Chain A
Amino acid sequence: MTAAEIVEKLSANFYQKVGEWHEMKASPYMTRMGSYMDVTDASFIRDICLFLRDEPDLVFNNLMLLSSLDNGDKTFSVVYHLESMTLKHIFALKVTVPEANPIVPSVVSVWNHANWQEREAWDMMGIQFQGHPDLRRILLDEDYPGFPLRKDFKTPEFFRGMKVPY
């Protein structure tokens, strides 16, 4: 299925919940290019993902990557890179949430392998995934101050009595 068909299908089924389609041109450096689509209503991300997984001609059965980014304008984005291992097509979703209230529904119930990826996004960017079964830090210490990949993060002077800056 081409990206345009996927976009059409999503727009028809989730009217006004999905936004603009950003088409990406293939480059010689990337053998597989996907397109991504904005999800305007963050609370619908789980439903959209479930739809993408279960629809017979979509079958996105693999969440290749869940990444998060700090846009620098007091918003965070979460990007879902999806792949269908049976139908051999890829697509991406992007949902943006405000920094003051960074809550995104968890998709662990859709793809079980989202578990650790969401924990990493929580660890590094502080995005709260609602409905996650075990939302703990995955890499840093439990009592580490702040979320280090945020743009406004300041390295602490001391951590557990150890000096951190050079």
Chain B
Amino acid sequence: MGLLDKLDKPFDSGNILITGVDTLFNWARLSSLWQMGFGLACCAIEMMAASASHYDMMRFGVIPRPSPRQSDIMIISGTVTLKMASRIKILFEQMPDPKYIISMGSCSNCGGPYWEHGYHVLKGVDRVIPVDVYVPGCPPRPEALLEGLMKLQEKVRAQSLARV
């Protein structure tokens, strides 16, 4: 049982997997999308419901993290006021790459019910930070948020290291 024998038949004894770098990295990334643990308004209640045992977002690898430095995705769950917008931008800049944004609910998509008379509301968080997935609803049900999360996973699966 010498080393030379193993070199002749490298795959016989198991524990070796042939894969592409893109596939491996994307699989790792999409399976552990750690989420920044913060909520803004009533959508945050649905986000918490999605995290809780009934919908169990953790089975997709989404763990709420208390720091932007450890997060991969930020779920903008609620009304983005002008006061909060500058803070969100700072938090986004503090997140390490690769980072993804899910805009959850009408308010953060386009201003929602505050679109006309909201003197204090940013009409869409995409005016401040880039958004990957928009989840419609007011507020969206946890299933809708999970669907958005799976859309984001599809997007991550199609990425390539050469392009990102």
* Alpha-carbon distance A148/B82, docked complex (angstroms): 13
Q: Say yes or no: B127 contacts A163, CB within 8 Å.
A: yes
Give the tally of cross-chain contacts (CB within 8 A): 33
* Alpha-carbon distance A82/B30, docked complex (angstroms): 58
Which A residues touch B85, using CB under 8 A?
162
The interface size of chain B toward A, counting residues with CB under 8 Å, comes to 14
Chain A residues packing against B (C-beta within 8 Å): 139-141, 144, 148, 153, 155, 159-160, 162-166
Q: Say yes or no: A162 contacts B119, CB within 8 Å.
A: no
Set B86, B110, B119: member contacting A164, Cβ < 8 A: B119
Q: Say yes or no: A140 contacts B83, CB within 8 Å.
A: yes
Which A residues touch B76, using CB under 8 A?
none
Q: Say yes or no: B83 contacts A166, CB within 8 Å.
A: no
- A140-B120, A160-B86 known, 13 other contacts, Cβ within 8 Å: A139-B120, A140-B83, A141-B83, A148-B119, A153-B119, A155-B119, A163-B123, A163-B127, A164-B119, A164-B122, A165-B123, A166-B111, A166-B116
Q: Say yes or no: B128 contacts A162, CB within 8 Å.
A: yes
- B100 CB, min distance to chain A CBs, angstroms: 22
* Alpha-carbon distance A155/B127, docked complex (angstroms): 17
Q: Say yes or no: B82 contacts A162, CB within 8 Å.
A: yes
Which B residues touch A148, using CB under 8 A?
119-120
Which A residues touch B116, using CB under 8 A?
166
Q: Say yes or no: A164 contacts B82, CB within 8 Å.
A: yes
In this complex, what residue of A is CB-closest to B80? A162
* Alpha-carbon distance A106/B110, docked complex (angstroms): 40
Which B residues touch A166, using CB under 8 A?
110-111, 115-116, 123
- A122 CB, min distance to chain B CBs, angstroms: 16
Which B residues touch A164, using CB under 8 A?
82, 119, 122-123
Which B residues touch A162, using CB under 8 A?
82, 85, 122, 127-128
* Alpha-carbon distance A148/B118, docked complex (angstroms): 10
* Alpha-carbon distance A35/B85, docked complex (angstroms): 43
* Alpha-carbon distance A38/B86, docked complex (angstroms): 43
Which B residues touch A163, using CB under 8 A?
123, 127
20 pairs, A vs B, C-beta closer than 8 Å: A139-B83, A140-B82, A141-B82, A144-B82, A148-B120, A155-B119, A159-B82, A160-B82, A160-B86, A162-B82, A162-B85, A162-B122, A162-B128, A163-B123, A163-B127, A164-B123, A165-B123, A166-B115, A166-B116, A166-B123
